Structure 1
Amino acid sequence: MTTEIWDAYLADGTLADLKLTRGEPIPDGYYHLVVEAMVCHEDGSLLFVKRAASRASFPNYWEFSCGGSALAGKMAEQAIKREVLEETGLSLDKLSLYNTYFDDRYHCYFHIFQAMTTNDKKAVQLQIEETADYRWVSPSELPLFIENHLLIPGQKAAITELFLH
């Protein structure tokens, strides 16, 4: 397995002259880029994926985002397209940046995107070690879905803000 190398960023979002290695401590004041996308289909439905039971954090929880750490040399847009393709097999037709923020606990610089795909909804290919199931949820089904399924903490509020207001 190859070691992941990340670019380091400063707290103002500028690229630092430092490389970081996954699994090694990140010095204070530095962050690595993490990208996430909320994937919507052109028909308005939202893609949810169920995390595999073997995942260390939030096993068997549903989440409405795909993503991961950006490899060194990759911009956020390139990284999220790669992550979504890797995790779902779907290509993205449109991306718009929703939010950016820093998480000091984990030294992460997050870029959150809203993404749209026109791929066939049955074309989803799960990344077996990461995900166990998927579901496209229409806007009318969304309130009941988020009420009756385990969701990653904080995502229920984000879904409500983005899609139910």
Structure 2
Amino acid sequence: MARLSSGQITLHRSWNAIEEIVGSALNRLDKHLQDRPVRTLLPDSLPLLWIDAVLMEQVLVNLIENAVKYTSPGSPIDIEATALPEHFRLSISDYGPGIAKHQQTRIFEKSYRGATETQQNGVGLGLALCKTIVEAHGGLIQADNRAGKGAEFSIELPLHAPPLLAESEALSSVA
């Protein structure tokens, strides 16, 4: 966390499909998710993202773990992605009690733990780490509540134009 915050860490970016990163995060959390329906809405038309896959997977793991930790057993978790003209949006929503309005920005501060978290383990670094990683990618993370659901964490990342394939690469990938 200290290295990320001070800018001493280098992102190891490459072109990645969000579907693979979501799948990897869900595989890591398989034992925690056994009694939970996880609903994903990841359209086939999503662009590749210029990101550090390992760090973005950690962001997803932290957000999904929080959804498990702060909701009733068996309640669903929704993961949805959309590509807009200028940015990519990924949201993780749960069906718990939501987040108090006055905590929606503070929960991203280092060591901040909300009043309702006293029964939960942790030191309050998970969401601060998520924020640091997302911002290192030039993105934004925020928390909100959705009507009929609980908390929703949304991540917005800038879209980058993928590199053009050289003509010989394009021909060999078709063959």
| TM-score computed with the length of structure 2 as normaliser | 0.28
Task: Tell me which structure has the larger Cα radius of gyration.
Answer: 2
Q: Which structure is higher in helix share?
A: 2
| TM-score computed with the length of structure 1 as normaliser | 0.29
Higher RCO (Cα < 8 Å, 6 or more apart): 1
